[in-house]
Structure 1
Amino acid sequence: NLRVNWENSEQDARVNVSLYGEDTKVLVGLAAEVERRLESIPGLLSVNTDMDRGGTELQLRLDRDQIQRFGVDPQQVSGAIAYALRGTDINKFHTDDGREVDIRVRLANYDSQSLDDLRTQNFPTDDGREVSLEALADIYVERTLGNIRRENRQTMLNVSARAAKDRAQHLFAQVDQVMQGFEMPRGYRWDKGTRFVELEEQDQSQTFALIMSVTFVFLLMGVLFESFVLPLSVIVSIPFSFLGVYWVLYITDTPFEIMSMIGSVILIGVVVNNAIVLIDLANRLRAEGKSRYDALVEAGRHRFRPILMTTFTTAFGLIPMAAGNSKMVGLEYAPLGRTMIGGLLAAMVLTLLLVPLFYTFFDDFRTAMQRIMASAFGRKSETSGSSS
């Protein structure tokens, strides 16, 4: 299977494409194709495979026909090669202090053994002659994995692509795009793996947190206003504040990451404050006998300065966070500050301009619904009275 996961560090973003299968050679060929596809993504800093972190390996494949023809013992060949390259342990030496030291016998010039020396190494045959190793076996050098990893009884090989940190959010989509049409042999399956699932679950949990925040704010305002229609005029300030978040992050070229999401959740409880004090004052003025229009105008005039002061003091207090580069556990605080500033400024303007408009709309809607319900229940009561 093919697994894609994302690793984020302080300096860069990294996507790993993990290939799974039985045959390492097939995986190496597939990794080369994956590497070629990933290199087509613009802006990548580097593309590497596990082969790049590996080394070289000398491999010998004995020719059985030649072995039988010359009458050479295969065990003798493998033993002689191992002796020439590594030596062999023959005994242990016991020192006076009780330690055991391995005694290994090897060729005097084993450090200077070359591939040509190995090819020309001779072995005795049945008829007393000698034959070189290159006549008995195929000798070649291949690149190997730095380490062999197994998962679910399959070999795993990684291809990693590294990009600048601010491009982390685009990497997954770009990897999916370049991997389209990538055909894998039978037994080699495509699977994005557990890391991708974890990221999806993280996004879902953050979205759930946003929804629950809006729900709790709405229920609280429903109790405050003794209505579940008028709080909608306050709730509309939340999506409009996200417009400010978008533009601030866009202008500052800041990715929407975990700290930005946290800032968005905090915004939900903050941006409604200005709308609440505005609508609450308008409701109190209407209870004193003022018309809806006069109540909204007077509430806007009285709350204009406090709304500006509270918004600007909060926004200016967040500037050091938004402009700085402080970190904790590798996470920057700047996206949090920028998200808060953008949302607060947008909510301030839209609260003064649009909240009264939506308040009027929902108030008319509530009045219309009350008339419809009163008319319906009134007719029902008249019908019941005439029947009796």
Structure 2
Amino acid sequence: APFVFAFGLVYVFVIRFLIGTILEWVIGKPMVLAVMGFASFTRGVLVPIVSIVFRVVMWVPSKLVGAALSFANGAYPKVLRGALAHPGVVVVLMAVCIWFAWDAGTSLESELLPEVHQGEFTVEVQLPVGTPLYETERIIAPVERAILAERDHIASLILTVGYDSANSTRSDEGEHSARFKVVLDEDSRSAEVEEAVIERLRERFNGIPDLEARVVRPVLFSSKMPIEVEIYGTDLDLLREYGLQAKAVMERLPGLADVETTLRQGAPEVQIVYDRDKLALYGLNISTVARHVRDKVKGFEATRFNLTDRRIPILVRLQMDDRETVEDIAALIVNPGGERPIRLSAVAAVTLGEGPSEVRRVDGSRVALIQANLHQGSLSAAAVSIRTALQNEIVWPAQLGFAIRGQSEEWERSQRSLVLALGLSLFMVYVIMAVQFESLIHPLVIMTTIPLAFVGTFLALKLLGMNLSVVVFLGMIMLAGIVVNNAIVLIDYINTLRARGVEKTEAIMTAGTVRLRPILMTTATTVLGLLPLALGIGDGAELRAPMAIAVISGLLTSTALTLIVIPTIYSLLDGMVAWLAGARTKRDRTSSPLAPGASIDSVTP
């Protein structure tokens, strides 16, 4: 007990009080003082310096913005008053803009998605079917050494000769095929550098006889090649013949590269056609003879060897020297144990033939597939040129036909869905505004900003050489919900002023002047927020930039035209509604019956 009491005293007074107090003063207090000192230094020195630097840096931009807003505040009322005085000119201007948007939009080329350059691609190489693995490696090795020797912009090169039967997904892969996977340097992942490296590799592969090479890039949201042409029919020989003709036609088109057909040269095989009459003459059974030939060539499982927990099958067949050539197969004896040996060639025709490389069916019809990459131009332009060339340069028999599939078909299907989504978004925007304004006319006025926004979108795409794609459509759907905000703010304030008794023209002028600055600032913040995406910086910028450019350009033109067109259309429609209401009231007065003995002057409306 005394020992426990003494230890408690030591713990409380020595360890906890004395050492704790020392540590608090040595560690805690200096840290608190340091933090307080840094806070005082920041408030007294850093904040004033940063404030001065910020004012100096932002002095020129603030002056420019202020001057621009002052100019807009002075010029806008004059322009708006002139537009209200000449509404016909504004209506014609709006019609011209809408027509221009329609013409520009229908003339744009299209694609499923912009091609994304991720700094890596694969070159698939094919030699004639039947080329052994060692021969494929011997032919490919000099190309590999040459690529590694120059190694311009290439970070790593992975070569695979042959194929993995467990992971292979293509029927034309085998010992005659190889894959070059190329990964570019971090600083060389631009579209121009990637195209230059691909062209250099194509030139190197083109110098090897009987070698076919195609470039495969990682494809986002699609498992198909950019261009796929299906030739469908029933006869494999005709499909292969016309597939080669179509391939030759497509190779001459300047917008395509790496054109190949799936019905290529098949694997060599020994074909045996039995003569049933001769078999019957010799008293042989076709099933027995065929099984006997198969067992000698391919072998049969005679027994199994037990090795601990494994049972290893033992195949019995002829030695390689006795079954290596067609002549060896034709010399096989088909009636072992008979009085007179009969060779296979006596009862069958043994020839060296070629089997089909693959049999592909789509909806029950045999199909030859021709695939290609885009070398230049757009997907829609390539599809049109392919269809025209195949129809004009090839005389198709009645039992064959062709269809363009791949990403072109996916784009057509996606386009229908996106148009439906755009129409649904417009309908939802109109319904919400109709409920909010309790009017069917004012939402129509506001909805005119959407086609005015598409004017800027299509003009920007045309000037920048961009194609209409899924991401651009998504930007347009976003734009339909963004651009109506400025018109809503303007129309709502006009209605508020008129509810207070302000005359229509004066309410429009006052609302336009008051709401000008908020509208411009809202547009500016949205544009500046999307500007980093539009600049196309970083990986995947090919997908982000078109959407941002579509929104920015549409928002700019919509804002500029909304400030003029929306007040003018509002004034016209309001005057039209008032005129119709006045005409109806006048008609009601003239058609109402008079009471007996009453005069017209005594009737009150």
Which of the five TM-score ranges fits, normalised by the shorter chain? 0.7 to 0.9
Q: Distance in 2 between matches of 1:7 and 1:135?
A: 59
Is 2:423 aligned against 1:206? no
Q: Aligned match of 1:94 in 305, 308, 323? A: 305
Residues 121, 7 of structure 1: CA spacing in aligned structure 2 closer, same or farther, 3 A cutoff?
A: farther
Larger Rg belongs to: 2
Deviation at 1:75, TM superposition (A): 7.0
Name 1:258's counterpart in structure 2.
Answer: 470
* Larger CA deviation: 32-41 vs 229-238: 32-41
Cα offset, 1:369, TM superposition: 2.1
For each residue in 1:201-231, what CA deviation from the matched residue of structure 2 results, as whole angstroms up to 9, or x when unmatched? 5333322222222222223333444432233
Q: Does 1:311 align with 2:523?
A: yes
1:153–1:270 Cα change, 3 Å: closer
Matched residue of 2:378: which SS? Answer: helix
Instruction: Measure, in 1, the Cα distance between the counterparts of 2:590 and 2:355.
Output: 89
Q: Deviations over 1:178-218 (max 9, x none)?
A: 343663433x5666789987755533332222222222222
Aligned partner of 2:587 among 353, 357, 376: 376
TM-score normalised over the length of structure 1: 0.77
What residue number does 1:218 align with? 430
1:148 correspondence with 2:359: yes
Q: CA RMSD in A?
A: 4.2
Tell me whether 334-343 or 309-318 shows the greater mean CA deviation.
334-343
Structure 2 partner of 1:335: 546
Distance in 1 (CA, whole Å) between partners of 2:259 and 2:503 is 68
How big is each residue's C-alpha offset from its partner over 1:319-369, in whole Å with a ceiling of 9 and x where there is no partner? 2222336778x9923222121111111111111232222222222222222
What is residue 37 of structure 2 aligned with on the other side? none
1:3 aligned partner: none
SS at match of 2:391: coil
The one-letter amino acid of 1:357's match is T
Report the AA paired with residue 155 of structure 1. Answer: R
CA gap 1:21/1:313 in 2 versus in 1, 3 angstroms: same
Aligned residues: 376
Contact 2:332 2:343 survives alignment (8 Å): yes
Aligned match for 2:271, one of 60, 77, 91: 60
- The answer to whether structure 1 residue 243 and structure 2 residue 455 are counterparts is yes
The aligned runs of 1:19-38 (5 Å cut-off) are 19-38=231-250
Q: State the AA in 1 paired with 2:550.
A: T
**5 Å matches for 1:7-156?**
10=116, 11=217, 14-52=226-264, 55-60=266-271, 62=273, 64=275, 82=294, 86-109=297-320, 113=324, 121=331, 137=349, 139-142=351-354, 144-145=356-357, 147-156=358-367
Distance 1:276 1:387 in 2: 53
Please name the residue that 1:354 is paired with: 565
- Which stretch shifts more, 345-354 or 91-100? 91-100
Q: Residues 143 and 383 of structure 1: is their aligned pair in 2 closer, same or farther, counting only changes over 3 Å? A: farther
- The alpha-carbon distance between structure 1 residues 377 and 175, as it changes in their structure 2 partners (threshold 3 A), is farther
Unmatched runs of 5 consecutive residues or more in structure 2: 1-110, 117-216, 220-224, 599-605
Cα deviation for residue 238 of structure 1 reads 0.4
By how many angstroms is 1:265 displaced?
1.2
Matched residue SS, 1:19: strand
Aligned partners of 1:47 and 1:162 also within 8 Å: yes
Assess, with a 3 A threshold, how the Cα gap between structure 1 residues 118 and 22 changes in structure 2: closer, same or farther.
farther
Preserved contact between residue 245 and residue 343 of structure 1 (Cα < 8 Å) = yes
Q: 1:185 aligns with which of 398, 411, 425?
A: 398
1:176, CA displacement in angstroms? 3.6
- Kindly provide the CA deviation profile for residues 143-196 of structure 1, in whole angstroms up to 9, marking residues without a partner as x: 632x4333444333322222159723444444443343663433x566678998
* 1:386 to partner: Cα distance: 7.8
Tell me the secondary structure at the aligned position of residue 332 of structure 1: helix
